[in-house]
Amino acid sequence: MIVFKTSAELRNYIDSQRNLGRSIGFIPTMGALHKGHISLINSARQSQKLTICSIFVNPAQFNDKQDFDKYPHAIADDIVLLSAAGCDVLFLPTLQEIYPNGPENAQEYHFGFLETVFEGAQRPGHFNGVGKVVAILLNMVQPDALYMGSKDYQQCAVVKNLCKQMGLADKIEFVACPTQREADGLAMSSRNRRLNEPQRALAAIIYQCLVSIQSKSILNSPFAIVAKECADLMKAKKIEPEYIAIADADSLEPLSEFDPNKKMVALIAAKVGNVRLIDNMIIN
C-alpha cells in the first residue's frame, strides 16, 4: 500500500493509474478502522477498482469539542488493517492540506430538511462539516465510486445530496454498504472502543430495540407505545436515548405511525455512558 500525505502526490499517482485504464474506488474515513471499514475496502476491490482510503479526523464536523478530542486515533493499527485488506492507497492529509485557509473558510454546503431532523437536529453544523470535507476529498480524488457505510444512514443521504449539488451524481457511483455487526448485534463503530466492558455488554440493547421495532412494524403496533417500551428498556440499563424514531427510508421524513405502504427506516441515537452511538434498520 502506498501512503500519500499531499493531494499533489495523490493526484499524480491517480492520473498515472487512470492512464493505465484503472477506475477509482474511494473510501473516506476518520480512522480507528474496524471490520465495517474493511467491508467497504472489500467492496471496492471486488469491483476491480484502484482502492483509495483516506484517514482524516475532520474537526469541522464535531459540534462538541470534547467529542473531537476523544475521537480514537490508531494510525499504526489502521495501516496494518488496510495493507492486509489489499487497499492500494492510503491518503493521510494534514489539516493544512485539507483546509489551507482554515475549516471556517472552506466552501459551505447546506442540506435543507436533512439538517433539521435526527443527526442534523441533534448535532447542529455536523452535516455542514461533513459536506465541507467530503467535497474537498472528492475534488482531490475524483473517484468513479464512493463507498460509505449504511450505519450512518443520514450521512449517506447527505453525501448523495452533496454529489448532486457538486454536479457529480452522474459521475460517481454511490455505494451504501451494509452495516457490519458484532456477534450480539452491536453495529461496528470506531466509537465502540471507548465503551468500557459493562457498557459494551449493554450497548447491544440498541440493536435489540431496532429488531423489536421491526417486528412490531409487521403487527402495525402504535409506534408511540413501541418507542416508549424501547426507551424504558434502555433507561433501565442506564442507556440514555436521544431519539427512537421511524422515517420514510428515502426522504427521512419522520413518521408518527408505521405505514405498510412505505419503505421505512428505524433510527436510534443513544448515549452509553458518555459515548454517543447511532444505529438504524430498514423495517420493511
Which spans in 147-247 are helix H? 153-165, 197-202, 205-218, 223-236
Instruction: Tell me the Ramachandran region of residue 31: left when phi exceeds 0, alpha when psi lies from -120 to 50, beta otherwise.
Output: left
Query: Does 130 engage in binding with ligand PAF (CB under 6 A)?
Result: yes
Query: Does 128 engage in binding with ligand PAF (CB under 6 A)?
Result: no
Query: Does 134 engage in binding with ligand PAF (CB under 6 A)?
Result: yes
Long-range contacts at 158-165 (CB < 8 A, ≥ 24 apart): 158/111, 158/114, 158/127, 158/130, 158/131, 159/130, 159/134, 161/111, 161/114, 162/109, 162/111, 162/131, 162/134, 162/135, 162/138, 163/138, 165/109
To the query of whether residue 37 is one of the catalytic residues in this protein, the response is yes
In 10 A of CB 219, how many CB atoms? 8
Which segment (90-98, 130-138, 175-183, 270-278) binds ligand PAF by CB under 6 A?
A: 130-138
- Per CB under 6 A, the list member of 78, 88, 119, 152 interacting with ligand PAF is 152
Q: How far is the CB of 207 from ligand PAF (least distance, A)?
A: 19
End-to-end alpha carbon distance in the chain? 40
5-34 residues near ligand PAF, rule: CB under 6 A = 28-30
Query: Does 119 engage in binding with ligand PAF (CB under 6 A)?
Result: no
Query: Does 61 engage in binding with ligand PAF (CB under 6 A)?
Result: yes
Cβ closest to ligand PAF, residue 137 vs residue 230 = 137
197-256 residues near ligand PAF, rule: CB under 6 A = none
- Residues forming contacts to ligand PAF in the complex (CB under 6 A) are 28-30, 58, 61, 130, 133-134, 152, 155
Q: What residues act catalytically?
A: 37
